[in-house]
């Protein structure tokens, strides 16, 4: 029987493509891979064949979910999708379960910097034996041979918007979808138990201050884009965890024709980066993606507290420390049409290599080399449940929504659902097959050899056909 790997998707626009790449290469090596949201996997945990549970959640709550899977006989692996871009080493683990490494079997790091940060915190559970530096699959997809993945979306974006400067925001601490009227990120962080050390409190407070100032300065810039930049169109794409309606209201209030607010899940972010003239962000991973896609990125840092400036975006971007400086740079770059990415110094190149591993080799095979060493009881099978029928599952979900909205009148649950759907609106069989076919073509693999099935609501297997001999 095929060994099973479960790989969760938390934020679809960030992780979907990389999960399919991983699944194809794992299936090529004989694995059965299941992808889906962490919520769907948890709902059907008792019914699933035993295997390797790989997820990107390291908090107390999410490591608890891994503990449940471990008790059921799964091997547990974690990674951190944002592990390459953090503040200092001590603060790197601020959201982590400090006993995470006692609960998991392995941890995939994106680079040596992430590994060094984790090990410097003297965590229990022998992290030095469980950390494997592999790189990250999402960055594998930014290589030249995979750029055709975004070609169709890139073409649609250019047809719809023409030439533009892309702005990606990261204000999910101060502009999240509010689940309650009194929602406050800092206070909620305290209540959730993540302010455990002086450095946690310091960075939580200072990052909120920094985001607040940056957002205000960005808004001041956007209020007058028609006047200051009559010949430039700006597309603003909010973070998947942000309140999209806030920016929509901002646009309607200020009536700037040259400003367009892009829906969170409209096309892939990498396609927008490839389609833009250049991009602007603040302390964001999208600046790294822009650099790897050979695009010019401007890092807007109006807050003068350099301790809350991420090192990697600064190394690979043009940095602007005031609104006036940003305006001058935008006008200069646009008038000269100098849209090429920043030329890095030797020191900056070394820091990039230190932060992101295996930029040339790719990460998936390194991950699979380690997974192959794990022993799992793979003689179990997926079990039938009445909720395995998609239509019954949907009917149940429909009645739960009606219950929450009209009987319980639970605003928190309604907003929670809205937030979850914005980050991960779900997967469809057709989109998985389409992406699988495209990636197979780019890798010269026979796409007909890979079979995709819906095994339970929200959960899909990707396997390679078994060829039987005569």
Q: How many CA atoms lie within 13 A of 3 on its CB side?
A: 18
User: Where residue 389 falls among pLDDT bands split at 50, 70, 90?
Assistant: low
Residue that wins the pLDDT comparison between 84 and 51: 51
In this predicted model, what pLDDT tens digit does every residue of 136-174 receive, in sequence order? 999 999 999 999 999 999 999 999 999 999 999 999 999
Please name every residue paired with 454 in a beta bridge, in sequence order, or none if there are none: 460
User: Where residue 449 falls among pLDDT bands split at 50, 70, 90?
Assistant: very high
**What pLDDT, on a 0 to 100 scale, did the predictor assign at position 278?**
97
**What pLDDT, on a 0 to 100 scale, did the predictor assign at position 470?**
44
Q: Is residue 321 over pLDDT 50?
A: yes
Asked if 50 contacts 469 with a C-beta cutoff of 8 angstroms, the reply is: no
In this predicted model, what pLDDT tens digit does every residue of 2-43 receive, in sequence order? 899 999 998 888 899 999 999 999 999 999 999 999 988 998
Region 419-439: mean pLDDT is 84
Region 105-119: mean pLDDT is 96
Domains of the chain: 4-140+358-389+425-464 (3.40.50), 147-354 (3.40.50.2000)
Region 284-289: mean pLDDT is 95
Region 310-333: mean pLDDT is 96
The closest of 96, 71, 77, 110 to 6, measured between CA atoms, is 77
**Calpha distance 135→109 (Å, rounded):** 6
**What pLDDT, on a 0 to 100 scale, did the predictor assign at position 218?**
97
Asked if 155 contacts 270 with a C-beta cutoff of 8 angstroms, the reply is: no
Q: Is residue 242 over pLDDT 70?
A: yes
**What pLDDT, on a 0 to 100 scale, did the predictor assign at position 182?**
58
Q: Is residue 306 over pLDDT 90?
A: yes
CA angle 269/353/154 to nearest 5° reads 20
In this predicted model, what pLDDT tens digit does every residue of 288-300 receive, in sequence order? 999 999 999 999 9
């Amino acid at each position: 029987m095929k060994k099973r790997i479960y790989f969760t998707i938390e934020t679809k626009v960030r992780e979907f493509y990389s999960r399919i790449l991983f699944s194809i290469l794992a299936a090529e090596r004989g694995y059965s891979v299941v992808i889906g949201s962490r919520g769907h996997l948890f709902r059907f945990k008792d019914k699933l064949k035993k295997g390797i549970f790989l997820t990107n959640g390291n908090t107390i709550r999410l490591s608890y979910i891994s503990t449940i899977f471990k008790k059921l006989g799964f091997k547990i692996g974690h990674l951190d999708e944002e592990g390459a871009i953090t503040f200092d080493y001590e603060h790197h683990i601020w959201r982590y379960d400090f006993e995470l490494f006692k609960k998991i079997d392995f941890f995939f790091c994106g680079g040596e910097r992430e590994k060094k940060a984790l090990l410097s915190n003297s965590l229990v559970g022998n992290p030095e034996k469980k950390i494997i530096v592999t790189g990250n699959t999402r960055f594998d997809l930014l290589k030249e041979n995979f750029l055709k993945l975004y070609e169709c979306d890139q073409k649609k974006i250019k047809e719809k918007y023409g030439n533009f400067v892309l702005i990606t925001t990261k204000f999910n601490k101060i502009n999240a979808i509010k689940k309650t009227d009194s929602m406050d990120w800092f206070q909620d962080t305290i209540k959730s138990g993540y302010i455990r050390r002086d450095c946690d409190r310091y960075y939580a407070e200072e990052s909120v201050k920094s985001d607040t100032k940056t957002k205000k300065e960005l808004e001041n810039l956007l209020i007058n884009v028609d006047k200051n930049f009559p010949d430039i169109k700006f597309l603003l794409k909010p973070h998947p965890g942000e309140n999209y309606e806030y920016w929509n209201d901002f646009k309607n209030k200020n009536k700037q024709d040259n400003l367009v607010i892009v829906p969170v899940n409209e096309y892939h972010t990498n396609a927008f980066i490839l389609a833009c003239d250049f991009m602007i962000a603040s302390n964001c991973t999208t600046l790294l993606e822009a650099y790897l896609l050979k695009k010019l990125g401007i890092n807007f840092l109006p807050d003068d507290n350099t301790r809350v400036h991420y090192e990697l975006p600064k190394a690979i971007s043009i940095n602007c420390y005031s609104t006036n400086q940003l305006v001058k740079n935008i006008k200069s770059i646009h008038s000269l049409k100098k849209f090429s990415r920043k030329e890095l110094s030797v020191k900056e190149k070394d820091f990039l290599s230190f932060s992101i591993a295996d930029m040339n080799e790719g990460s998936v095979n390194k991950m699979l080399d380690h997974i192959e060493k794990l022993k799992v009881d793979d003689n179990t099978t997926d079990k039938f449940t009445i909720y395995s029928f998609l239509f019954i599952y949907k009917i149940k979900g429909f009645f739960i929504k009606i219950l929450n909205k009209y009987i319980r009148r639970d605003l928190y649950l309604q907003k929670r659902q809205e937030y979850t759907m914005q980050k991960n609106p779900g997967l469809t069989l057709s989109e998985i097959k389409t992406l699988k076919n495209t990636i197979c073509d780019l890798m010269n693999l026979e796409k007909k050899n890979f079979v995709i099935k819906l095994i339970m609501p929200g959960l899909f297997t990707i396997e390679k056909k078994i060829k039987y001999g005569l």
